[in-house]
A and B are shown apart, each in its own frame.
Chain A
């Protein structure tokens, strides 16, 4: 796409993705023709209910769930994380009041845990190494008899590092706790298999699979019971009351089906572009480093840090040249705090400030990567020449 003759390259896919046109086509009839309430007895209602169940099946197939009824539709990954953590904690309150999670979680996990602390629960944030990988020995140490729930991100969208979920699951179950996995960024990019991975609850996002925003799901293992957050008419097996967002859920099902069929080839394509970008930026620009693990890494994720400069000014410069990315810098955030994920990996504040996140998507090509590779070194040079932190030998 070009606007005013400037090429427009969107590389902020972990923040938001376009909806696949095949998904939109599938959704449209549910706005004006099949508008019934799935709880209604008549034909209109039953049509909608059938469509919901089909979507449930598509999503359960994607993650290899034991049956479609394990999928509970929510308003998105944030609600799913809230429902999993609070629902499990409150349900099991009498058995234990400690929740163990990691230091590289999404804010919806962090703040759900913190809200439980105000209600008398305990939360431990288990540390990660410099790649953002969980320290498994520490994790095991942190899970005590009071711990009934462990919540871990499958792969953090900011740094791309994929956690060893299988090994984590073994530890958690050996200790007699349940495992919730936030698979928001992972599900749709890498194979996620709740049976093989040993997952008890799992958060899935729809927009991350090129479906609409405002809808998500929680996988809840068949034998498990949790308390709902929303009470009402008893939809979604009583775990999420409120009339279902039918059209979006239909889109979710289609998005999951497309993902299941196309993920393998698409991920392979993205890994190539990703690695060419990483190498093509680290090699020519000194004092540039990769955030996260080089191999155990989401296919879409290029997370870099450029020393001596600040991320927001990199983003501004990129946007002026038609490239739209993201940063973990405080100055680019509403909170004015650098990303807790980058700090958890042991980065200093000033290093976290210089971070740049490029997340690729279906619309990106190798040509886009080549354009970005050509563009970035001059942006970095310009900003470093202005910075009082830049060492003399780098000045031009």
Chain B
């Protein structure tokens, strides 16, 4: 049912865990629906220096989380914002149709983490004024 790439990321997920002093945190999904993801990012010079994830969900949810962190690591914030659900699924060699919607949320979690970082940045600047 899943591609070899999905199974690889499910059995050996990259970048799992938390970043305690993260610059941005994004959570999407809902345990009621069976998928919940949190992304943690550390930013240096406008680039994603480190990224980690925690996911409750099916094989596809775990694999897309892992793939998203791999795609995002080292990218600038603007580049990372361009990572989409479709590009994550494509990098994994495709996902079963039923999983495209519900379990492919990791790009959204990444974007939420970046927005969180941007929000904090803005707040800090305002406070400095």
Contacts and interface: CB of A to CB of B under 8 A. Distances in A.
Interface of A: 308-310, 312-313, 316, 320, 329-332, 334, 336, 338, 348-350, 353, 385-389
Nearest to B10: A316
A313 B58 contact: yes
B48 interface: no
Contact of B34 (A334, A349, A385): A349
Contact of A334 (B31, B38, B98): B98
Given A334-B98, A388-B27, A329 B38 contact: no
Contacts of B92: none
Interface stretch (B49-57, B81-89, B110-118): B49-57
Given A331-B103, A349-B33, A316 B38 contact: no
B55 A350 contact: no
Interface of B: 2, 7, 10-11, 13, 16, 27, 31-38, 54-62, 98-99, 102-103
A314 to B, nearest CB: 10
A317 B102 CA distance: 20
B27 to A, nearest CB: 7
A307 to B, nearest CB: 10
Contacts of B32: 348-350
B34 A389 contact: no
B34 A310 contact: yes
Nearest to A386: B16
A331 B31 contact: no
Nearest to A384: B56
Nearest to B57: A310
A353 B35 CA distance: 10
B33 A387 contact: no
B33 A330 contact: yes
Nearest to A320: B11
A103 to B, nearest CB: 19
A308 B16 CA distance: 16
9 contacts: A310-B35, A310-B56, A310-B57, A313-B58, A316-B2, A316-B58, A336-B98, A338-B34, A350-B34
B33 A309 contact: no
Contacts of B7: 316, 320
Contacts, number: 71
A113 B102 CA distance: 30
A309 to B, nearest CB: 7
B16 A385 contact: yes
Given A310-B61, A349-B34, A389-B36, A336 B10 contact: no
Contacts of B57: 310, 313, 331
A310 B58 contact: yes
Contacts of A386: 13, 16, 54-55, 62
B58 A312 contact: yes
A308 B54 CA distance: 12
Contacts of A350: 31-32, 34, 56
A111 B97 CA distance: 25
A331 B54 contact: no
A348 B7 CA distance: 29
A387 B54 contact: yes
Q: Which of B31, B98, B99 has most chain A Cβ within 10 Å? A: B31
A353 B33 CA distance: 8
Nearest to B36: A388
A332 B56 contact: no
Contacts of A309: 56
B102 A312 contact: no
Q: Which of A320, A334, A350 has most chain B Cβ within 10 Å? A: A350
A388 B28 CA distance: 11
Contact of B31 (A336, A385, A389): A389
Contacts of B62: 313, 386
A336 B102 contact: yes
Contacts of B102: 331, 336
Contacts of A312: 58-59
B37 A313 contact: no
B48 to A, nearest CB: 20
Contacts of B58: 310, 312-313, 316, 329, 331-332
A334 B102 CA distance: 13
